Amino acid sequence: MIQTDHDRYEKMSYRRVGHSGLRLSALSLGMWHNFGGVDPLENARAIIHRAFDLGITHFDLANNYGPPAGSAEENFGKILKQDLAGYRDELIISTKAGYHMWEGPYGEWGSRKHIIYSLDQSLKRLGLDYVDIFYSHRPDPDTPFEETALALDAVVKAGKALYVGLSNYSPEQTATMMHFFNELKTPCIIHQDPYNLYNRKIENGLLPVLREEKMGLIAFSPLAQGQLTDRYLNGIPQDSRAVKSGRFLDVEQVGKTIEKSRKLNAVALERHQTLAEMSLAWLLKDPLVASVIIGASKVSQVEDNVKALENSDFSNSELEKIENILKKE
Ligand X SMILES: NC(=O)c1ccc[n+]([C@@H]2O[C@H](COP(=O)([O-])OP(=O)(O)OC[C@H]3O[C@@H](n4cnc5c(N)ncnc54)[C@H](OP(=O)(O)O)[C@@H]3O)[C@@H](O)[C@H]2O)c1
DSSP-derived 3-state class of residue 317: helix
Q: Which stretch binds ligand X (CB under 6 A): 100-108, 205-213, 228-236, 309-317?
A: 228-236
Alpha-carbon gap, residue 297 to 39, rounded angstroms: 10
Beta bridge partners of 60: 30, 94
Alpha-carbon gap, residue 291 to 272, rounded angstroms: 23
Beta bridge partners of 94: 60, 133
Q: Which is nearer to ligand X, 187 or 226 (CB)?
A: 226
Q: Which is nearer to ligand X, 294 or 322 (CB)?
A: 294
Question: Which residue of 17, 26, 31, 289 would you call a contact of ligand X, by CB under 6 A?
Answer: 31
- Examine residue 226 and tell whether it contacts ligand X (CB under 6 A): yes
The residues, any chain, with a CB within 8 Å of residue 284's CB and separated by 6 or more, are 15, 26, 292, 308, 309, 312
Residue 244: CB minimum distance to ligand X, A:
7
Q: Which stretch binds ligand X (CB under 6 A): 2-10, 106-114, 205-213, 287-295?
A: 287-295
Question: Which residue of 162, 278, 283, 294 would you call a contact of ligand X, by CB under 6 A?
Answer: 294
Residue 206: CB minimum distance to ligand X, A:
13
- Examine residue 122 and tell whether it contacts ligand X (CB under 6 A): no
Residue 242: CB minimum distance to ligand X, A:
7
DSSP state of 228: T
What single-letter amino acid sits at 233?
Answer: L
Question: Which residue of 224, 264, 267, 281 would you call a contact of ligand X, by CB under 6 A?
Answer: 224
DSSP-derived 3-state class of residue 293: strand
Number of residues that bind ligand X (CB under 6 A): 30
Q: Which is nearer to ligand X, 158 or 237 (CB)?
A: 237
Q: Mask: binding to ligand X, 296-315, rule CB under 6 A, as x and -?
A: xx---x--xx----------
Helices then strands, counting H and E runs in the chain, come out as: 12, 10
- Examine residue 66 and tell whether it contacts ligand X (CB under 6 A): no
Q: Which stretch binds ligand X (CB under 6 A): 26-34, 114-122, 183-191, 312-320?
A: 26-34
DSSP string, 43-85: HHHHHHHHHHHTT--EEE--TT-TTTTTHHHHHHHHHIIIIIG
What's the Cα-to-Cα distance from 326 to each of 18, 140, 194, 264, rounded to whole Å? 28, 33, 17, 9
Rule CB under 6 A: which of 138-167 touch ligand X?
Answer: 167
- Examine residue 241 and tell whether it contacts ligand X (CB under 6 A): yes
Residues lying near ligand X in the complex (CB under 6 A) are found at: 30-33, 60, 137, 167-168, 192, 220-226, 229-231, 240-241, 276, 293-297, 301, 304-305
